[in-house]
Amino acid sequence: MSARLLILPGDGIGPEIVAEARKVLDALAADGGIDFELETALVGGAAIDVEGVPLPPSTLEAARAADAILLGAVGGPRWEHLDIAIRPEKGLLGLRRELGLFANLRPALLYPQLAAASSLKAEVVAGLDILIVRELTGGIYFGQPRGIRTNDRGEREGFNTLVYSESEIERIARAAFDIAMKRDHRLCSVDKANVLEATELWREVVNRVAADYPDVVVSHMYVDNAAMQLVRAPKQFDVIVTTNMFGDILSDQAAMLTGSIGMLPSASLDAGAKGLYEPIHGSAPDIAGQGVANPLATILSVAMMLRYTLGRPELAARVEEAVSRVLDQGLRTADITAGAAAVGTAAMGDAVVAAL
């Protein structure tokens, strides 16, 4: 059976890095390893330029019809003057919400070859393997009411709402416990239950779900402490489950422990096997079009797609091993190594294909 894949290159370095991921997909197809139909559509600023909106109905339609979606990145200074409701980021947020992609998996895995690139001492990060499970369709990102209004003193005020229902907490907690069962059986739930009622409930529901997973050791941490622990002793973590906004912040922080945010893939999954796969970094407008961006996070996102949507863990492992092999060969993009020694985006993609 052939899988339907939708490619959304997006903005900035998005098209460049997605092109390298495509080479990997094509190589796997040529090998007879996998069969898929590819479609490409516009999202983010690229869609605003052509259609006037960041998530055109045709893109959403194609996304609904697809089994899996591979996205580059969205956003850039060109669109920053636009109203927040029609900025490129809304294209991505709309996809997450409309497709019910509530479970965002963000692994922070240190490749031993890159230990020296980490901002922390090599012994603090050696062997690091954390999976952040970020709630992705609720919380303060989507809570109503929201906006900017004039209060009764005549002053403008901005406001957002942090809201989580029990069912929203329960389903992300279950997803995280299920993942912890397949890893080291340790789950740390990150909240701010000492201040925010929404996360007081979060903690209560996580504890309730924990009763169904007696083999998982559960802990709870306030987000400020979690941010500190991530740089103090990151290896204490196996799986972290947290809210949409805390997960946004902690996953960027955890990424840096691994040497470069340019290495980290992500999967955003619905209640079934459908997923949107993207690097966790952004569109990097400062280096867009120069052919220097690191395509490995996007290529590793293809590996996650093979594992979580396409049910081909052996092919996922093959891609991950190919990435490891190019690192063994000493190949590094400019985000990891400065100067003339760095290889470009296409050369890195070609090397991964060769290593496959």
When the beta carbons of 27 and 256 are compared against Mg ion, the nearer one is 256
Quick one: what does residue 89 bind among ligand IPM, Mg ion, none, with the CB cut-off 5 to 8 Å set by partner type? ligand IPM
248 catalytic residue (yes or no): yes
The residue range among 1-9, 86-94, 314-322, 328-336 that interacts with ligand IPM, by the rule CB under 6 A, is 86-94
Binding residue (CB under 5 A) for Mg ion from 11, 16, 248, 320: 248
The DSSP element (H or E) to which 150 belongs, if any, is strand 147-150
Q: Which residue has the tokens 């009764």?
A: 152
Distance CA 278, CA 14 (A): 10
Q: Which of 111, 141, 277, 308 is catalytic?
A: 141
Locate all alpha helices (DSSP H) within 258-311, ordered by sequence: 296-308
192 catalytic residue (yes or no): yes
The residue range among 53-61, 87-95, 200-208, 257-265 that interacts with ligand IPM, by the rule CB under 6 A, is 87-95
The residue range among 107-115, 189-197, 215-223, 242-250 that interacts with Mg ion, by the rule CB under 5 A, is 242-250
- Count of CB atoms situated within 10 Å of the CB of 82: 14
Q: What is the SS3 assignment for 149?
A: strand
The residue range among 88-96, 217-225, 231-239, 315-323 that interacts with ligand IPM, by the rule CB under 6 A, is 88-96
Binding mask 280-299 for ligand IPM (x = CB under 6 A): x-------------------
Distance CA 84, CA 89 (A): 9
239 touching ligand IPM, by CB under 6 A: no
Binding residue (CB under 6 A) for ligand IPM from 51, 89, 178, 350: 89
Distance CA 38, CA 31 (A): 17
The residue range among 55-63, 110-118, 240-248, 322-330 that interacts with Mg ion, by the rule CB under 5 A, is 240-248
- Count of CB atoms situated within 10 Å of the CB of 180: 24
**Which residues ranging from 187 to 216 are in contact with Mg ion (CB under 5 A)?**
none
Q: Which of 11, 191, 238, 248 is catalytic?
A: 248
Distance CA 228, CA 236 (A): 12
92 touching ligand IPM, by CB under 6 A: yes
Binding mask 243-262 for ligand IPM (x = CB under 6 A): -----x--------------
The DSSP element (H or E) to which 38 belongs, if any, is strand 36-40
Distance CA 251, CA 256 (A): 9
Distance CA 70, CA 325 (A): 23
C-alpha Rg value of the chain to the nearest Å: 20
252 catalytic residue (yes or no): yes
* The two structure tokens encoding residue 27: 């190589």
Quick one: what does residue 226 bind among ligand IPM, Mg ion, none, with the CB cut-off 5 to 8 Å set by partner type? none
Residues near ligand IPM (CB under 6 A), total: 6
CB neighbour list of residue 177: distance below 8 Å, 6 or more residues apart: 187, 209, 210, 212, 213, 216
When the beta carbons of 280 and 297 are compared against ligand IPM, the nearer one is 280
Distance CA 123, CA 269 (A): 33
CB of 86 to ligand IPM, least distance (A): 14
Strand-pair category, 3-10 with 68-73: parallel
* Closest residue to Mg ion in the complex (CB): 248
Site for Mg ion, rule CB under 5 A: 248
Query: Active-site residues: which are they?
Result: 141, 192, 224, 248, 252
Which positions lie near ligand IPM, rule CB under 6 A? 75, 89, 92-93, 248, 280
